[in-house]
Amino acid sequence: MWLDQPRNQNSPLAGLKVVELARVLAGPWAGQILADLGADVIKVESPEGDGTRLWGPPWVERTDAGGTVHREAAYYHACNRGKRSIIADFREEADLVRVRDLCRDADVVIENFKTGSLTKFGLDYASLSAPNPGLVYCSITGFGQTGPRAHEAGYDFVIQGMSGFMSVTGEPDGEPMKMGISISDLTTGTWAANGIQAALLQRERAGPFQGRGQHLDMSLMDCSVALLANQASYFLNTGKNPPRMGNAHAQVAPYGVFPVSDGHVILAPANDGLFVKLADLFGRQDWIDNPDFSSNAGRVANAALLDAEIAAETSKRTKADLLALCKEHGVPAGPINDLDEVFGDPQVIARGLRVDLGGMPGVRSPFTFSHAELALDRPSPILGEDN
């Protein structure tokens, strides 16, 4: 199944064939991760194309080999780098035969259709794995293949609310807030790529399942609940709902956003030693001597008072001056960057996170290997470019 002529011989997944029957974000995000790692990802699109091609503005224009100008949403290019694109209309039997033939020797199929809806097309796991028992077939849905909501569609915003994300995000007295990115979709796509590679490893390993693929069932709801981490632990161990804290931390103080004369900075002195360094920075020996601030538990209990005193000190300084002092004293701190500052940051530039392929800027997958490299050789495909 592994391709004889991979895209990049020195990429970890060079030679892996992936068929992507997915659209919008979670499935394509998983596919892009595998493509960056060197897999040959064939994106199968409807005649109308992935819906995100129309999710603008902003828009991007580019010209194909025949001189035709294509206008597509920048959103589409955030999650489809490195792939090939073919068009298939599932209402046409000839197109279905073509897709089944693609899957016959594929290593991986990624799909994010509603549970059970690909069965009538013969594109479900049972149908495709019969002639290809080594196939790793990844289904991405809102709620998974089982349970009372299995047949419901899932949307990132809705899942952010249902999973508890929004109950712990936002100011204490404000309304619950979603994150500024589609965190449920992106988390699911990332974990799907991880699960796919685990299944591929099991397929290669000696044992009862050597040579066998499997069906990987990923859901936005599962992945979002799993990402609750310490907030889930808070509830499971106390029976109480964790509060919304805004930019504060429920278990650590001081830890948050503080004003400076020209904006805001983040201060994160997350243990007793770092708090002493913060007090030294401001010349506030009284903080160190105050029994209410001598331990993290005391600082959490008196966070409002402590934060007000810290804010009074930080507001006397500029952002640059305070960050320089924090660096000098070893206090964890940082700016709150807009994206122009992010991509102008010397660290981001040094790590090569921005990539430009075929005139299309993007952000590479954040893997840095000692003995391998990413396959960053193709921009996102034009619809049907590889028919």
- pLDDT range class, residue 6, cuts 50, 70, 90: low
Q: Give me the phi and psi of 183, to 5 degrees please.
A: -65, -35
First and final C-alpha spacing in the chain: 21
Q: Is residue 386 part of a domain?
A: no
Q: Which pLDDT does position 359 carry in this prediction?
A: 83
> Same domain, yes or no, for 219 and 274?
no
> Same domain, yes or no, for 64 and 192?
yes
Q: Is residue 213 part of a domain?
A: yes
> Same domain, yes or no, for 280 and 222?
no
| CATH number of 319's domain | 3.30.1540.10
CA dihedral (227, 233, 236, 238) positive or negative: negative
> Same domain, yes or no, for 146 and 102?
yes
> Same domain, yes or no, for 54 and 166?
yes
Domain that includes residue 282, residue range: 256-338
Kindly name the residue from 50, 156, 185, 307 that is annotated as catalytic.
185
> Same domain, yes or no, for 213 and 260?
no
Structure pTM?
A: 0.91
- pLDDT range class, residue 63, cuts 50, 70, 90: confident
| CATH number of 76's domain | 3.40.50.10540
Mean pLDDT of all residues belonging to the chain: 93
Residue 135: how many CB atoms within 10 A of its CB?
A: 25
> Same domain, yes or no, for 192 and 136?
yes
Q: Where are the alpha helices (DSSP H) in the chain?
A: 26-36, 74-77, 93-104, 125-129, 156-162, 183-204, 220-226, 230-238, 272-282, 285-289, 296-301, 303-314, 319-329, 339-342, 346-350
Q: Which pLDDT does position 189 carry in this prediction?
A: 98
185 catalytic, yes or no? Answer: yes
CA–CA gap between residue 76 and residue 56 (Å, rounded): 9
Exposure on the CB side of residue 293, measured as CA atoms within 13 A: 22
- pLDDT range class, residue 7, cuts 50, 70, 90: low
Number of separate domains in the chain: 2
